[in-house]
Structure 1
């Protein structure tokens, strides 16, 4: 194997740096200044995961057409209001929505509880059977509603309940009475409990104590976090509602703009912490490698320059980074140290043998120059193999990391010789590991690792890819908590699809077709907001209003004083047979009159609102498509007559299998369907293909370059076997310990090839030169490989501290991968080389004989 081709140019580069220190320092200072300027003035981060896929992908084309027609659709913000009772959630929402309509950060808002269209016509959207049950419930409660009036008292309520009980529920149905008894018991025994009239006067499943509504935000794309202003506005107005109304409710915000904003915050803070932690850990490892402050400082400077210069080049080329490529900074901490470590370890080793600084540098180039010069382009090629893929996140990181490797090589090969004169150590720099011990350890450990690698191949079919972008986000983030709440609501699930139609006729035809698959729950479009069976429903409402109209306009009954009313109720409750009545009777008997009187504000807190809501509901009138509010029309039809048909999955499509079935069923009937359900699945398929493509491309390109330089199939074999085993072991470990591949860590396998090839080249070349593979592990090459790998592991491992789950999973899986690379290179490659070169020496001896 002829390896002198690269040694001459490398030595001339190092000699130039040694002779022109000032020129080298000024050059890198100028480049660093330009890089800092680029980053400070142009850096932007795109948190939209859909933009990490090529726009030519079919699902992206469909999504682009949908966005062109309805540009604000994917930018909607969802607000979740959660309170102790449905009444408080509704009241809070009405107040909050009214305030947000006045904010400049909100362009439009759709909050059904505060929308007159739904307040007056809500009954028309019930099924006929549901409407009949509700009207019957309200009719039975009419006497109680009439007695209470707009400004009731406990005396009035107790007297009305006593009358109802004495008449065996003739004035109010028993179900309503028992529900009221139960709620009164809870209010009287808890100072925080408020009576829910909305629950009392409803039928079927009790209404949830939460409200979901959406708004169209004004996003400021001139800022790094476009949704921050609207998010802050919502939270500020929520605080104002709490202060001025004394309503108590939690307000959570989600939707793509807010999710991206919080994701960016998590990524930014995570990368910051990871950079700091990796810098500290790398510095500690470098100290153990050199035991020299000067050499550690020199390495840290080259790392810092490599990171800054790579950032400048990245911004100059791409302008904006994404959630994947932004991790290059941490990767460069590990990659930026490799070349400096190998150079300084070997120079220091030669200095310990008594050579001068210049002679030690020359000897180092003679010993490892080809390996050093080859690792830069091979690693860069491995990263550049990401570029042809459809996954722009991987594509961008590959280009940045590939250029970063070349930059780190140039910095190390020029700045280190220019600024560092390696002193001769007082004692030998490195004590060689005992050869006998190595021969005892390497073979058995290598055999075990190799067997594990072979066994791991059988787990590869079980490896999975998590295609859900939400798997990348921190579970504790408020927007993710809110998203999980939204997902639980089948009618609000974000996993839906949309198709476009150019006429009402086409819209209705497509709706009829797309409602057929079993995985589809329903479809929704503009005409869905025109209720069905309106004539029948209005007649039912008119009939019920005859008995309820007077009750709702009545001024109420003043009733007796509280004490006689309480006594009458206590007597009546003793005659009741229900458990709810008995429990209320026991509670009333045990409370003082003052304690009972103090509960009045909590009993009637939301009664006036409920009474007014009932009055509005009975004003329902015939609804036509012209009556649909503009805020709804804008979401379902464009000005030029393009209609949007929304397709909702059965069960919300929360589980991946259900989502895939839903998407496949819809696409079979409507190939142009677009939406988050399709985007997540299709993106996963694209990224899976990209991972395989990048891995194979990296392996092929690296192999060709190694063959071109070394012209040795043996060396190539020594490099590829450990890398294949490391990749398989990494995937198997992730499968066993719940670390699936996802949008962020999918590039682990190509990275293992790109980074792991460095160690393999140094060890394989050393073994080829000496014919003794253990000598490579035993001497300075093995030490440099060890500390280079450890610094890389330290930098990758620091990503685990990120709050962003995607970034953290990347750090975890990369750490696992590099540990396996280290194990295969140090324990599998040497025995394999020993076998190969041992046979070669035996063959030579036979020829001589």
Structure 2
């Protein structure tokens, strides 16, 4: 072997190649965590999504900030101020908007109210005309005291319930100032000036992320810019008591990328440590373990370079390639190293032992690599590009692992020759071998029973392809996204349909509104008020009646501390007199008493406290009066031409295409609910797009790809094994334990309710790709014994006292521990992948060391029982 003849040259060449590959991988390898991009762009739903993206690019890379505060007025002010702060970062954020603060809605907001609600508002405002006039002249504590002096004087037993509500809210706001957590009164919310019931005190700020040209953090600058703006808001009066949370597509992707990258790094280090520990116990030779670890590190670097050159990116699944390489690459070294130790114990010198070990395991290793490559590449013909990319990268890794295991590792053994290892106690080995030989029939019976029981548990296996369910639920972006999904009006799980024009969009919306899965359908026409002929006269009457009271007054002078103290004293006296009187209903008098007591507590807090109470009680009055003036200044019907471009561009594309948005009736985060909603819309609009459609259609592709890849893996492996083994029995002996391990794995997944998802769906194809190595080595060693003339009872014992079972145990344990490190991830997709892979590999250990030997011993006995005179070297004996 050339590597053994020139070991130094072999090592130097590998180091040079590794250095080049490491540099190229750092420069050229990217990570993409989008689960949608893991599906072929030729899939029909991907083409529909791309058509929608071209028509309405605003939907891409969007950041959404959810702003909550104690009152709608404060939320309005906070959202507006936050947008201003975000616009100070044009290098990272673009198109910053506060949809609810658009001047269009301020001016025409009254026209969007239902006619009955608008008429009720007109009646209430007419009764409050004098109070509004008083507040308009002095929108401060003095005006508030004057207003209540007027209102309470005429409040009789029939005082409206709104008086009790107003007094109660003012008392609550006053108590909040006393407690040090001021919460301003929302006057627009009290009067219900607009349809704020849709979002309550919640507002939204949206922005487009300007993506950075980096490999691992394209969205991070934009997300960081938003967080800096939020921090700045918290230090200003508008941000007091405000909760601002960040979510949206780009934030979810960046959060997931950070989680995956952190997990991959930690898992790689941990798998390296655990693999080393298992090898130490199994081999007990530090030189051999050092050689294997050096080989693995160089092989990993070479694999990364090939991945960068051939694929160019990592996805949610292939980002685990380092862990997978450690888990698989050590298999080759384990078999070569333990066979080397076996040859050394037989007395061979290191060079001869290396050559004999390489000759003995080279064939099985090559066959194992070929079968593993088949398993990895089985997803390439499918539409699941994510697994196809993973398969290509892993297949390249297998080629690299085989290459360095038969070149670099033997060269290292020559340069720093390990010893023969610890001589094992043969009695222990023979005890296991003897037990297996005696009880193989019982083991086969137990195997058959558990396989049948696993078939019965298969209906419990389920598929969950909602990408949000893969992420860490504790992150702010995921928690906020899920909270929005609970309310249909704010649900991010809407579905969009492209239509040729607005008329077609309206017809589609009308059709969708009759669907029981759809709570509402919106188009551009939804932003043009309806029933304007009935609403305009009501607004005209309101303007005629309230106009004089709302005329813009001269600039109001700011109150001095003495003025505020006097106003509070006057207000408290009027409230106390009303509360202790015999007029007014009991609820109003009780609320007045509570308000008076709260004012008494706050009045002793000094000038600063009086300023805070003025801001909390009357800060929302000027916005209310301003919105009333704007809303009443409407004299003609609103048309499509009045709708601003900021709204139009979100509903009408430049080429005239119009979109329809359909909303679900409830939270559809569950995959089954999401599929029902998506299917209901697709039945009416086959080219609809959006998260529910994407998730549902992608799930079908993943399921189909899973079935196709598993079947292809089995068929191709069977053909390859049949061609190489030239024996049907040898092929069956290799594959049957893998099928049983796969059944056990699926049954456990169903019983433990671990759903298959975008990430862990690789488990079964990977089980065949990984487990076949152990079966091949065991069957190959058994055939070697047959060719040497081992017969009868000695066959099973001689098979199980060789180094092969230990090599299988060590290699599968290292693989299992390497994959198990993924289970520590807070990313649910990776953690479930790690758990299922660890379970699957554990079952392959049981299959390889219990089921397969039992089958081999039973088959050997059957053959010798029926063909006692057969030539032991005949292919039929294999």
- TM-score normalised over the length of structure 1: 0.92
Bigger mean CA offset, 66-75 vs 148-157? 148-157
- Tell me, what secondary structure is at the counterpart of 1:651? coil
2:590 matches 1:582: yes
Deviations 1:128-184 (A, max 9, x none): 223233333444444433333465455653564465345336997322433432451
Please give the residue correspondences for 1:30-429 in structure 2 after superposition, counting only pairs within 5 Å: 30-101=16-87, 103-104=89-90, 105-149=92-136, 151-154=138-141, 156-157=143-144, 160-161=147-148, 163-168=150-155, 173-185=160-172, 187-188=174-175, 190-197=179-186, 198-202=188-192, 208-221=200-213, 224-248=216-240, 249-365=242-358, 367-421=360-414, 422-425=417-420, 427-428=422-423
Structure 1 residues 505 and 602, CA, compared in 2 at 3 Å: closer, same or farther? closer
Deviations 1:50-77 (A, max 9, x none): 1111112111121122222223323322
Structure 1 residues 723 and 515, CA, compared in 2 at 3 Å: closer, same or farther? same
| C-alpha displacement of 1:221 | 4.5
2:743 matches 1:738: no
* Partner residue, 1:707: 722
Deviations 1:283-303 (A, max 9, x none): 111111222221111111111
2:632 matches 1:618: yes
Deviations 1:797-849 (A, max 9, x none): 1112223221222111111111111122222112122211111122233779x
Deviations 1:410-463 (A, max 9, x none): 101111111114433474157563433554476566654543232111121221
Structure 1 residues 512 and 577, CA, compared in 2 at 3 Å: closer, same or farther? closer
Instruction: Provide the C-alpha distance between the structure 2 equivalents of 1:847 and 1:268, rounded to a whole number of angstroms.
Output: 59
Bigger mean CA offset, 571-580 vs 342-351? 571-580
Instruction: Provide the C-alpha distance between the structure 1 equivalents of 2:541 and 2:473, rounded to a whole number of angstroms.
Output: 51
| C-alpha displacement of 1:682 | 0.3
Structure 1 residues 208 and 108, CA, compared in 2 at 3 Å: closer, same or farther? same
Would the aligned equivalents of 1:449 and 1:827 in 2 still touch at CA under 8 Å?
A: no
Would the aligned equivalents of 1:433 and 1:778 in 2 still touch at CA under 8 Å?
A: no
* Partner residue, 2:695: 680
Deviations 1:88-137 (A, max 9, x none): 22110011223434542333233133211112112222222232333334
- Tell me, what secondary structure is at the counterpart of 2:235? helix
Please give the residue correspondences for 1:690-839 in structure 2 after superposition, counting only pairs within 5 Å: 690-770=705-785, 772-773=795-796, 775-839=798-862
Would the aligned equivalents of 2:136 and 2:549 in 1 still touch at CA under 8 Å?
A: yes
Instruction: Provide the C-alpha distance between the structure 2 equivalents of 1:138 and 1:410, rounded to a whole number of angstroms.
Output: 85
Instruction: Provide the C-alpha distance between the structure 2 equivalents of 1:653 and 1:637, rounded to a whole number of angstroms.
Output: 27
Structure 1 residues 224 and 135, CA, compared in 2 at 3 Å: closer, same or farther? farther
- TM-score normalised over the length of structure 2: 0.89
Would the aligned equivalents of 1:164 and 1:172 in 2 still touch at CA under 8 Å?
A: no
| C-alpha displacement of 1:260 | 1.3
| C-alpha displacement of 1:397 | 0.6
Pairwise CA RMSD of aligned residues?
A: 2.8
Bigger mean CA offset, 333-342 vs 620-629? 620-629
Structure 1 residues 65 and 488, CA, compared in 2 at 3 Å: closer, same or farther? same
Structure 1 residues 805 and 183, CA, compared in 2 at 3 Å: closer, same or farther? farther
Would the aligned equivalents of 1:800 and 1:811 in 2 still touch at CA under 8 Å?
A: yes
Bigger mean CA offset, 57-66 vs 209-218? 209-218
2:623 matches 1:604: no
- Tell me, what secondary structure is at the counterpart of 1:667? helix
Bigger mean CA offset, 706-715 vs 558-567? 558-567
Deviations 1:715-759 (A, max 9, x none): 222222211111111112112212100011111110000001111
Instruction: Provide the C-alpha distance between the structure 1 equivalents of 2:703 and 2:646, rounded to a whole number of angstroms.
Output: 40
Instruction: Provide the C-alpha distance between the structure 2 equivalents of 1:439 and 1:427, rounded to a whole number of angstroms.
Output: 22
| C-alpha displacement of 1:375 | 1.1
Deviations 1:295-346 (A, max 9, x none): 1111111111221111111110112222222221211111111100110111
Instruction: Provide the C-alpha distance between the structure 2 equivalents of 1:527 and 1:73, rounded to a whole number of angstroms.
Output: 20
Structure 1 residues 498 and 353, CA, compared in 2 at 3 Å: closer, same or farther? same
Bigger mean CA offset, 424-433 vs 237-246? 424-433
Instruction: Provide the C-alpha distance between the structure 1 equivalents of 2:272 and 2:124, rounded to a whole number of angstroms.
Output: 69
Would the aligned equivalents of 1:349 and 1:428 in 2 still touch at CA under 8 Å?
A: no
How many residues are matched? 834
Structure 1 residues 32 and 223, CA, compared in 2 at 3 Å: closer, same or farther? closer
Instruction: Provide the C-alpha distance between the structure 1 equivalents of 2:588 and 2:447, rounded to a whole number of angstroms.
Output: 69
Instruction: Provide the C-alpha distance between the structure 2 equivalents of 1:295 and 1:427, rounded to a whole number of angstroms.
Output: 13
Deviations 1:206-260 (A, max 9, x none): 6623212323333334564332222222222222233233523222222222221
Deviations 1:603-623 (A, max 9, x none): 234333333333333334532
Instruction: Provide the C-alpha distance between the structure 2 equivalents of 1:351 and 1:433, rounded to a whole number of angstroms.
Output: 20
Structure 1 residues 244 and 718, CA, compared in 2 at 3 Å: closer, same or farther? same
2:863 matches 1:840: yes
Bigger mean CA offset, 542-551 vs 17-26? 542-551
Instruction: Provide the C-alpha distance between the structure 1 equivalents of 2:550 and 2:323, rounded to a whole number of angstroms.
Output: 67
- Tell me, what secondary structure is at the counterpart of 1:658? helix
Would the aligned equivalents of 1:774 and 1:830 in 2 still touch at CA under 8 Å?
A: no
Structure 1 residues 847 and 343, CA, compared in 2 at 3 Å: closer, same or farther? closer
- Tell me, what secondary structure is at the counterpart of 1:54? coil
Would the aligned equivalents of 1:89 and 1:209 in 2 still touch at CA under 8 Å?
A: yes
2:449 matches 1:451: yes
Structure 1 residues 529 and 779, CA, compared in 2 at 3 Å: closer, same or farther? same
* Partner residue, 2:463: 465
**Which ranges in structure 1 are unaligned for 5 or more consecutive residues?**
1-14
Query: Residue 571 of structure 1: which of 571, 577, 602 is its match?
Result: 577
Instruction: Provide the C-alpha distance between the structure 2 equivalents of 1:777 and 1:166, rounded to a whole number of angstroms.
Output: 102
Bigger mean CA offset, 597-606 vs 233-242? 597-606
Structure 1 residues 346 and 330, CA, compared in 2 at 3 Å: closer, same or farther? same
Instruction: Provide the C-alpha distance between the structure 1 equivalents of 2:78 and 2:259, rounded to a whole number of angstroms.
Output: 30
Instruction: Provide the C-alpha distance between the structure 2 equivalents of 1:146 and 1:138, rounded to a whole number of angstroms.
Output: 11
Instruction: Provide the C-alpha distance between the structure 2 equivalents of 1:519 and 1:286, rounded to a whole number of angstroms.
Output: 57
Deviating above 6 A after TM superposition, structure 1's stretches of 4 or more consecutive aligned residues are: 556-560
Instruction: Provide the C-alpha distance between the structure 2 equivalents of 1:151 and 1:334, rounded to a whole number of angstroms.
Output: 76
- Tell me, what secondary structure is at the counterpart of 1:252? strand
Deviations 1:375-404 (A, max 9, x none): 111111211112111100111111111111
**Which ranges in structure 2 are unaligned for 5 or more consecutive residues?**
786-790, 872-878
Deviations 1:524-551 (A, max 9, x none): 2222211111232222222223343344
Structure 1 residues 668 and 98, CA, compared in 2 at 3 Å: closer, same or farther? same
Instruction: Provide the C-alpha distance between the structure 2 equivalents of 1:169 and 1:716, rounded to a whole number of angstroms.
Output: 96
Structure 1 residues 367 and 270, CA, compared in 2 at 3 Å: closer, same or farther? same
Structure 1 residues 779 and 764, CA, compared in 2 at 3 Å: closer, same or farther? same
Structure 1 residues 356 and 429, CA, compared in 2 at 3 Å: closer, same or farther? farther
Instruction: Provide the C-alpha distance between the structure 1 equivalents of 2:781 and 2:570, rounded to a whole number of angstroms.
Output: 102
Instruction: Provide the C-alpha distance between the structure 1 equivalents of 2:686 and 2:568, rounded to a whole number of angstroms.
Output: 69
Bigger mean CA offset, 406-415 vs 588-597? 588-597
Instruction: Provide the C-alpha distance between the structure 2 equivalents of 1:62 and 1:672, rounded to a whole number of angstroms.
Output: 6
